[in-house]
Chains A and B, each alone.
Chain A
């Protein structure tokens, strides 16, 4: 969560949303949120767990690389 917001400040191209899963069950269902934190990037990349900065950035940038499958 914290990383998403700091990345948003770092780049004009990044927006970071914190979503309370229980309040938006439609979104939780759409993105198959079974465990938290779960991160979804551009509806294409998804990963679970709180990752260290370098790994988090690796995953997030996969959405920009076009290497990921559907979230």
Chain B
């Protein structure tokens, strides 16, 4: 049974028409220890079917250890959203509810590689010299 309804799918197709280039969704899962891995894989597959620009790579946290290490992924399910390169966009846990909207938005920004931020923000970032790891905790709503 599909996760996305026909109405959802139509909306996703409409949003993904905004993709400026190819996007790859790298999904890490593990069959044991996570109830939502299979659901996350299915959701990502269904999203990918909504646009020719979207590809999916399914990896296993325990088997593909080097890739997980390279992406900084230590828990599952995890989704890495890549555009022309890995910009550092990660989702941990199934992006349901409002987070699904954020997944689509992340795909669009990664496809272009151009953030939608104010000029003042971009100026402030030019002085940054320290790596920053931002974790935003959310719950499905």
Q: How far is the CA of A31 from the CA of B94 in the complex (A)?
A: 20
- Per the CB 8 Å criterion, the residue count for chain A at the interface is 43
Could you say which residues of chain B place their CB within 8 Å of the CB of A3? 117
Structural contact, A15 and B117, CB atoms closer than 8 A: no
- Per the CB 8 Å criterion, the residue count for chain B at the interface is 46
With contacts A9-B115, A57-B121 taken as known, whether A37 is within 8 angstroms of B136 at the C-beta atoms is: yes
The count of A-to-B residue pairs whose CB atoms sit within 8 angstroms is 168
Contacting residues of chain A (13-66) with chain B, CB-CB under 8 angstroms: 13-24, 27-28, 31, 33, 36-43, 53-54, 57, 60-61, 63-64
Could you say which residues of chain A place their CB within 8 Å of the CB of B134? 4, 7-8, 14-17, 39-41, 60
Contacting residues of chain B (91-119) with chain A, CB-CB under 8 angstroms: 91-96, 99, 102, 105-106, 109-110, 113-118
Q: Which of A17, A18, A31 lies in contact with B133, CB distance below 8 A?
A: A17
A-B contact pairs, 15 of them (CB 8 A): A1-B102, A5-B81, A6-B115, A11-B128, A13-B129, A13-B130, A15-B133, A16-B89, A17-B135, A18-B91, A20-B95, A20-B139, A23-B92, A23-B94, A24-B92
Give A residues with C-beta under 8 Å from B: 1-24, 27-28, 31, 33, 36-43, 53-54, 57, 60-61, 63-64
Give B residues with C-beta under 8 Å from A: 34, 36, 72, 75, 81, 83, 87-96, 99, 102, 105-106, 109-110, 113-118, 120-122, 124-125, 128-140
